[in-house]
Amino acid sequence: MRAYKVFSVLALIAMLVAACTPAAAPTAAPTTPPQQTAPTTAPAAPATAPAASSGGTLKVAILAPLSGGQPTFGVSTRDGALLAIKQWNAKGGVLGMQIVTDVEDSQCLPDPAVNAANKVINQDKIHYIIGEVCSAASIPVSDIANAAKVIQMSPTSTNPLVTVDQNGQTKQYIFRACFIDPFQGKVGAKFAVDTLKAKTAFIMYNQSSDYVRGLAEAFEASFTQLGGKIVGKETYTNTDTDFSAILSKVSTASPDLVYLPDYYNIVNLVTKQAKQMGIAAPFMGGDGWDSADLDVAAADGGYYTNHYDPGDTRPEVQNFLKDYGAEYSGKVPDALAALAYDATNLLLTGIQNAGADDTTKVATALQNIKFDAVSGTITYDAQHDPIKSAVVIHVTGGKKEWVATIAP
Amino acid sequence: MGLIDIFTSLVKIIAVLAYVYGLLWVLGKSSRWVKIAGILVAFGIIQLVITVNIGGSPIFNGFDLGLLFQACSMTMVALGLNLIYGFNGQFSLGQYGFYGIGAYTAADITYRWINGDARGLIVVLSGVIIVGLMIFGLRQIIHRYRGIPVLTQFTLYLVGTILAGIVAVYIGRGIAPAINPLLGTNLVPGALAQGIPLQVVFFLAIICAGVFAAETSFLFGLPVLTLGSDYFGIATLGFTIVVNTLMLNSDTILPFPEMKGGRGMIGIPKLTTWFWAFVFLVLVIVVMRNIIRSSSGRTIMSVREDEVAARAMGVDVADTKLISFMVGSLFAGIGGAIYAHYIGFLSPNTFNFLLSFNPLIIVVFGGLGSMSGTIAATFGWTFFLEGLLRNLLGTMGTDAPTWRYVLYPVTLLVVMLIRPQGLLGTTEWGFLKDILIKPRVKPQVAAPGPIAPAESQQGLD
Amino acid sequence: MQKASVSTTAPTLAHGPKTRLAWVGQGFLLILAVLALYIVVRNLIQDPVQFGQIIIGGLQLGFVYALIALGYTMVYGIVKLINFAHGDVFMVGAFVSFFSVTKFNLESWPAVVFPGLPAAVVVVIGTLTVILLSMIVCTVLAITIERVAYKPLRDAPRIAALITAIGVSFFLEYFGALKFVFTPEFIPYPSPFTVVTFYINNGIQMMVPGKPLPGHVVTFTSIFVIFIVATLLVQFLLQYLVHRTKIGIAMRATSFDKPAARLMGINVDQVISFTFAVGAAFAGLGGVLYAIAYSSIWTQLGILPGLKAFVAAVVGGIGSIPGAFVGALIMGLAENLTMGYISTPMRDAVAFTILILVLLIRPTGLFGEPEKEKA
């Protein structure tokens, strides 16, 4: 019975404590920033919630997969977003408030992303989230953020269902900075049929990546609609490195074009093996190709659709490339970094335009925004997808050259 | 940091500790009424911290509650694994597969239900019942004739299951149109798609999910459980990978367009409340405790200790393994169902095979063959990894979160090196000690590990 | 106890000589086998070139698995531990060679030291040095892991060592992904030599870059040849080591009966460390070759090859060195054939089905010694 007594006493204390608290609530009004390291359950909220307009700080959370299966994407995204925030702070912040960032690891998985979102929303009382990278993590986060009236700006989640719920209703507080799958697929197909005069195409896609699969499906639909023929469709998974079986099918089918809308790491593997197998058909992909680590020798002759052309002379592009290199010891930004940079700028400009730290006003401001971003001039449509033109880049002779700009 | 923050944190910690203690209380020896009172208090404490507001927001905010739900479903998964591995000695890495099966099954039922399609519930319910009856009936027959090889049994069960599945689909086609008009649509729910009927459907979905996972585990376990211990582990890991592949292709290879394959299933109603999570967790704990304390529990443990001796005592080793494997999967399935309706979104990546080590880690941490250890370890693990590390690293700058999964394995290593037998070893926390059979004390095989009896026969050649 | 045993008296799994209805299960297996054979043969006849290409891809994959599987099979044979960190040692091997090539230009040292050497000799010696360095680093790493994470747990339950193995594996992956350690990125790997492609068309001919192939032909690369040579070399080396040397005898003795080996004066700890070291060295070799062949590396590249290699080792019979080799080839071929002719996503399903079937028919794997009758 001793144990039970201890338990009852504990329970009683807990209840007493719980019962007493409402009375204590109005007395304390903490304003100091949270520097606590309280154990287990959770250190309490910083409780700076609505006081933000008092010229202090504005808190922005960055949700990125910093560990787990996709650390690359997370680090690039975080770096791009942090660069934008640093520049804003150097200019005096937004609405006179310095921006404080809270970086959270969300692993590209629903559970950690939801935990991270719950933490920044409920505990840190942050009203603005930049992230997540993967749609699989952004979708559950968007539900939480929308319900809590927190603005979520996803840099790279391409699944249409991030900003729209299953009934087709637009989520008021959720925005994105990237193309959605159908648009890029359509642009790719149009270019393939009109410019490359491709009649047959072979599609290779990663079945476990939402982004890749979305693009592949969109391309297939548009390409068939435009009169092309899909002569083969093969899938692989995240962890594959040997594509010889698929490529031997490509070689047998000998299509005019191979559509491979994956990230550069897979593109490097596939195009290299394809070259070794003597496959001459050009490869084509999406913005995932955009990276300094793209193996231009292997991908030679390939095309990809992108948000911007790094050779573009617009100051937004050139300044971004310069600043990013200066900040991160000469690194060349990939698509994820560029989009995270754009997403952050869009969000902060939205706050600036709204004139107040009020998420409903910011949502309206973002809806009506017209912003010159690295990836073109962005406006939003009714589904909170950015309207911006896409460019097609040709990889040739070790260089990435602009070949076409296709307006939405 | 304000006084009030310290205060709420303290309340939260106390509440969670009290709650976990309350759960452990069920395992104790005290009389039934004391236990019921204790568990009610545990329920009440958390309910209290969820409802009571301090400074405008509840003490237990969405973050804490999310962790609590995750811990609850993970506890069920881990307890199931502890039954399979800790108590029965079958080294399994398939628990996440069954967890995923449960999650997708339950999610599909409720998703279809609120979208005006009763087929999900009817097909799964009737399928689960018919397959159950088929397994039961076939078992009677197979038991009568000795000497039917495992592969033959498997083939018979497989054919039976396929036939039963076809029957269930036809039943669904027959009955569903009669119910569908009452369900309305997602935007305009009908009479049966809201309120108490929906809760009943949710309850049925959880049960169906659990039983479905258990029946799958029967089919899979029948041939595979005859493999040696580590081989069984690898085969079950393969099962997790295959289930994950099927999830990734649920809309292409499997005929479930609403699951959307690798893109993730959205629109699952978030029906898991604190009440449901709690009820099912307690149910799982009570059922497992009763199994362990019954004669079948002792049979299960005798297989772990020494298969040959157990067989000599008349224990049907194969059957015992199957039963513990099925019950463990049942728990995992229920946990998955609770999880799916908490998060409202299912992605195959959640059930990635790398994450399937999580329950194993938890069970070993808590101590193999210790229920109280597993419960404590699950809560500790969840609140450490997602709560403590997230909070600590979140305050330490923009580069710190990358360290979360560096600190985690280091902790894992240190804990294992300090306490290789886990938190509680094979014993229970205080009150259960004397009830359970003490394991054989022998330094090399003190705790159940995947030790092949014929350890020394394989050499390098 | 009494009650439970009364209700279930009849043993369901027959071990006795008399079996009934065995044909049903065997028929089931036969149907599967015939189906698989039909698919393979039909495609062989339909398009032999594609078939040859798929076989070559499968063999190459199989050789990668083989190099990793050796470490698994030896370690498991001796300490009965699934060394999950082995795949990550393989990854470290790839990264070490990456840094030695990009940061230190190690592959061209002979040209610097002996300027007069012909280019071919420089490439061979330089590449061998790169490989050797990776092997040494991997060996040191494996011994460290063994000393820190496994040795203290040798008398603890085996599962504890398994959990620390998982811990070490996570640690290597995520610690390596930190910016200042390796990199979180996928990085292209600069091969220390140029990979050339050959094709079979009236004998073996070399492909000229930029020039199209003469139609539909089977191609393979120089890496493939190197893989064959390296794997076979390793195979014979290990056979010699295990069967002809003193330490090999000690290894076999330790694997057979540890306490008895200790009584015979064998330093068991040293033998175990040595086993880890040998396995890691070959994993390092595999890592470098893998990186050259697939030319893209990141910190988690070892997970899946590691797992598949273990499966291969089990299929071949754990503890058996030729078994690991054969098992790895079977896995590689099965995977590629599935990808080519059945359906890419079901590749893992087929691989694990093969594992389960092999174990059901031969519980100790293809080359494993049959388990003695349990008392």
Tokens of A167: 């009934």
The distance of B167 to chain A (nearest Cα, Å) reads 32
Task: Please name the residues between 67 and 126 in chain A that touch chain B, using a CB distance below 8 Å.
Answer: 67-69, 71, 74-75, 78, 82, 101-105, 108-112, 114-116, 118-119, 121-124
pLDDT per residue as tens digits for the range B108-120? 999 999 988 889 9
CB B373 within 8 A of CB B367: yes
Tell whether B83 is covered by a domain. no
Contact with chain B for residue A165, Cβ under 8 A: yes
* B212 part of a folded domain: no
Contact A262, A206 (CB under 8 A): yes
**Of A306, A329, A348, which closes a domain?**
A306
**Cβ contact C300–A278 (<8 Å):** no
Query: By the CB < 8 Å criterion, does B159 face chain C?
Result: no
* Count of Cβ atoms closer than 10 Å to residue C48 Cβ: 12
Tell me whether residues C177 and A67 touch, CB distance under 8 A.
yes
Q: B56 — contact with chain C (CB < 8 Å)? A: no
In the prediction, which pLDDT does C347 show?
Answer: 84
Considering its fold, how many domains does chain C have in total? 1
Tell me which residue in B241, B354, B448 faces C348 most closely, judged by beta carbons: B241
Q: Do A245 and C58 touch (CB under 8 A)?
A: yes
Q: In chain C, which residues have their Cβ closer than 8 Å to the Cβ of B451?
A: 80, 158
CA distance C115 to chain A (A): 29
| Residue B166 touches partner A, C-beta closer than 8 Å | no
Range(s) of the domain holding residue C356: 49-361
Query: Could you tell me if A171 and A60 lie in one domain?
Result: yes
Residue at a domain's end among A306, A341, A372: A306
What is the number of domains present in chain A? 2
Phi (first) and psi of residue B58, to 5 degrees: -65, 155
Q: What confidence category does residue A29 fall into, taking pLDDT thresholds of 50, 70 and 90? A: very low
Q: Residue C252: inside a domain, yes or no?
A: yes
A130 and A111 in a common domain: yes
Total residue count of chain C as it appears in this document: 375
- Interface check for B146 against chain C (CB to CB < 8 A): the answer is yes
pLDDT digits (tens, 9 = 90+) for B157-170: 999 999 999 999 99
The residues in A 156-215 lying below 8 A from C, measured between CB atoms, are 207
pLDDT digits (tens, 9 = 90+) for A290-349: 888 888 888 888 999 988 887 888 888 999 999 999 998 888 888 889 999 999 999 999
Tell me the shortest Cα–Cα distance from A251 to chain B, in angstroms: 25
CB contact under 8 A, A7 and B21: yes
Instruction: Identify whether B53 is part of a domain.
Output: yes
Q: Is the pLDDT of residue B99 over 60?
A: yes
Predicted confidence at residue B429, as pLDDT, reads 59
* Residue ranges making up the domain that contains B3: 1-60
Do residue B413 and residue C310 have CB atoms under 8 angstroms apart?
no
Q: Using the beta-carbon criterion (under 8 Å), do C207 and A295 form an inter-chain contact?
A: no
Residue A88 lies inside a defined structural domain of this protein: yes
- pLDDT of C370 reads 65
Q: Which domain holds residue A283?
A: 181-306
Q: Under an 8 A CB cutoff, do A207 and C294 touch?
A: no
Give yes or no: residues A200 and A285 share one domain: yes
Contacts of B153 in chain C (CB under 8 A): 12, 25
| Residue at C2 is within a domain | no
**Are C50 and A252 a contacting pair at CB < 8 A?**
yes
On whether any CB of chain C is under 8 Å from the CB of B438, the answer is no
Does a structural domain hold residue A39? no
- Whether residues A169 and A239 share a domain: the answer is no
CB contact under 8 A, C186 and A241: no
In the stretch 232-291 of chain A, residues with CB closer than 8 A to chain B read 237
Closest residue, chain C, to B314 (C-alpha): C5
- Same-domain status, A192 and A291: yes
Question: How does pLDDT run across A269-305, given as a tens digit for each residue?
Answer: 899 888 888 888 899 998 888 888 888 888 888 999 9
List pLDDT tens digits, range A51-80.
344 468 899 999 998 877 777 788 889 999
If one counts the domains in chain B, the total is 1
In a domain, residue A16? The reply is: no
Q: How confident is the model at residue A18 (pLDDT cuts 50, 70, 90)?
A: very low
The verdict on residue A194 lying in a domain is yes
Q: Stretch A187-198: mean pLDDT, rounded?
A: 91
pLDDT value of residue B427: 66
Same structural domain, A187 and A281: yes
Of B234, B412, B416, the CB nearest to C310: B234
Count Cβ–Cβ pairs < 8 Å, chain B vs chain C.
Answer: 264
CB contact under 8 A, A248 and C185: no
Is there a single domain that holds both residue A166 and residue A271? no
Query: Lowest mean pLDDT: which of B31-40, B316-325, B352-361?
Result: B31-40
| A293 to C294: CB separation less than 8 angstroms, yes or no | no
Residue percentage of chain B with pLDDT more than 90: 40
Same domain, A210 and A273: yes
Chain B: residue whose CA lies nearest to C343: B253
DSSP string, B324-368: HHHHHHHHHHHHHHHHHHHHS-B-GGGG-TTTTHHHHHHHHHH-T
Which own/partner pairs from B260-263 qualify as long-range (CB within 8 Å, at least 24 positions apart)? B261/A207, B261/A213, B261/B348, B262/A207, B262/A208, B262/A209, B262/A210, B262/A213, B262/B347, B262/B348, B263/A135, B263/A136, B263/A159, B263/A161, B263/A210, B263/A213, B263/A214
Helix B229-248 and helix C347-361: axis angle, to 10°? 160
Q: Is C4 a domain residue?
A: no
CATH number of domain containing A105:
3.40.50.2300
Q: Is residue B36 part of a domain?
A: yes
pLDDT above 70 for A253? yes
Same domain, A343 and A230: no
Residue A44 near chain B (CB below 8 Å): yes
Residue C172's closest chain B neighbor by CA?
B406
* Closest C-alpha among A109, A164, A169 to residue A142: A164
B-contacting residues in A 145-164 (Cβ below 8 Å)? 148, 159, 161
- Nearest chain A Cα distance for residue B79, angstroms: 20
In a domain, A268, yes or no: yes
A133 and A188: one domain? no
The answer to whether B413 and C149 have CB atoms below 8 angstroms apart is yes
Sheet (strand C197-200) strand order: C204-206, C197-200, C218-221
Report yes or no for ipTM above 0.90: no
Contacts 24+ apart (CB under 8 A), A361-364: A362/A128, A362/A151, A363/A151, A363/A172, A363/A173, A363/A175
Cβ-based neighbour number of residue C19 at 10 Å: 15
Question: Does residue A157 sit in the same domain as residue A249?
Answer: no
Query: Considering chain A, what is the average pLDDT of its residues?
Result: 82
**pLDDT grade, residue C371 (50/70/90)?**
low
Question: What is the band of B461 on the pLDDT scale with cuts at 50, 70, 90?
Answer: very low
Distance of CA B181 to the CA centre of its chain: 35
Q: How far apart are CA B414 and CA A165, in angstroms?
A: 45
Whether residue A292 is contained in a domain is answered as yes
The predicted pLDDT at position A407 comes to: 79
Q: Which residues lie closer than 8 Å to B430 by C-beta, 6 or more apart?
A: A3, B28
For C30-38, what is the mean pLDDT?
91
Residue A12: the pLDDT is 41
The answer, for A47 touching chain B at a CB cutoff of 8 Å, is yes
Average pLDDT on C185-208 reads 82
pLDDT for A23 beyond 90: no
**Is C141 a domain residue?**
yes
Question: A295 and chain C: CB distance < 8 Å anywhere?
Answer: yes
Per residue in A85-126, pLDDT (tens digit) is 999 999 988 988 999 999 988 888 888 999 999 999 988 889
Using the CB atoms, write b or e for B84-103: b if 16+ within 10 Å: bbbbbbbbbbbbbbbbbbbb
B403: which chain C residues are within 8 Å (Cβ-Cβ)? 178
| CB nearest B388 (choices: A18, A40, A69) | A40
Interchain pair C5, B444: CB under 8 A: no
Is residue B337's pLDDT more than 90?
Answer: yes
